[in-house]
């Protein structure tokens, strides 16, 4: 009996230890000191592992609409849950301190902030989104935001 329990313990331990450990740390702040190329590389690895797409959220702490969209998403459970299930959001700083011009030059011109770039899990650009199209009054439209997220969410394969 002891031998069977020991073998069972070793088997379970092996399964647990063989599970891939994710060390991905989401980029949740606009930080002029961050390297967006490194952040993108890490998000691609995580997107491929998890089957999600990537949203580059370009803006800065100076941007009132950036704070409004963050607050809107945080307070809306349905949108927040859908977003986190289907996307990895990477904040890319654009500010006087660091405009990240070299990194952003690889993407379409940004007419205003915040701005979203939707990327496939391999990092390929799928869509450039002006967030003003998602606005409603002094905030954001739940219906428009959900329609945007559903349109660009990864296709689930059966």
Contact 84, 152 (CB under 8 A): no
Contact 22, 43 (CB under 8 A): no
pLDDT tens string 58-112:
999 999 999 999 999 999 999 999 999 999 999 999 999 999 999 999 999 999 9
Split into its structural domains, the chain has a count of: 1
Residue 5 lies in a domain: no
Q: What is d(CA 103, CA 117) in angstroms, rounded to the nearest whole number?
A: 13
Residue 128 lies in a domain: yes
pLDDT tens string 112-136:
999 999 999 999 999 999 999 999 9
Sheet holding 87-93, edge to edge: 87-93, 53-59, 115-119, 125-130
Residue 55 lies in a domain: yes
How would residue 155 be classed by pLDDT, with cut points 50, 70 and 90?
A: confident
| Residue 14: per-residue pLDDT | 47
| Residue 6: per-residue pLDDT | 46
The CATH number of residue 40's host domain is 3.40.30.10
Residue 114 lies in a domain: yes
| Residue 151: per-residue pLDDT | 97
Residue 75 lies in a domain: yes
Residue 16 lies in a domain: no
Question: Which one has a higher pLDDT value, 119 or 6?
Answer: 119
**pTM exceeds cut of 0.95:** no
| Residue 21: per-residue pLDDT | 55
Residue 157 lies in a domain: no
| Residue 83: per-residue pLDDT | 97
Residue 33 lies in a domain: yes
Residue with tokens 């930080």: 31
Kind of pairing, strands 139-140 and 125-130?
unpaired
> Which residue segment(s) compose the domain that 47 sits in?
27-152
């Amino acid at each position: 009996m002891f031998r069977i329990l020991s073998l069972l313990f070793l088997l379970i331990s092996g399964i647990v230890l063989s599970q891939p450990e994710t060390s991905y740390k989401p980029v949740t702040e606009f930080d002029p000191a961050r390297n967006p190329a490194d952040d993108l590389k890490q998000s691609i690895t995580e997107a491929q592992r998890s089957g999600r797409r990537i949203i580059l959220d370009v803006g800065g702490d100076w941007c009132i609409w950036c704070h409004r969209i963050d607050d809107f998403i945080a307070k809306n459970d349905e949108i927040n849950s859908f977003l986190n299930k289907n996307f990895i959001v990477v904040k890319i700083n654009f500010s006087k301190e660091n405009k990240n011009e070299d990194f952003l030059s690889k993407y379409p011109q940004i007419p205003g902030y915040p701005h979203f770039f939707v990327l496939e899990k391999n990092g390929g650009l799928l869509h450039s989104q002006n967030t003003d199209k998602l606005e409603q009054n002094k905030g954001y439209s739940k219906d428009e935001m959900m329609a945007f997220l559903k349109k660009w969410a990864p296709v689930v394969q059966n």
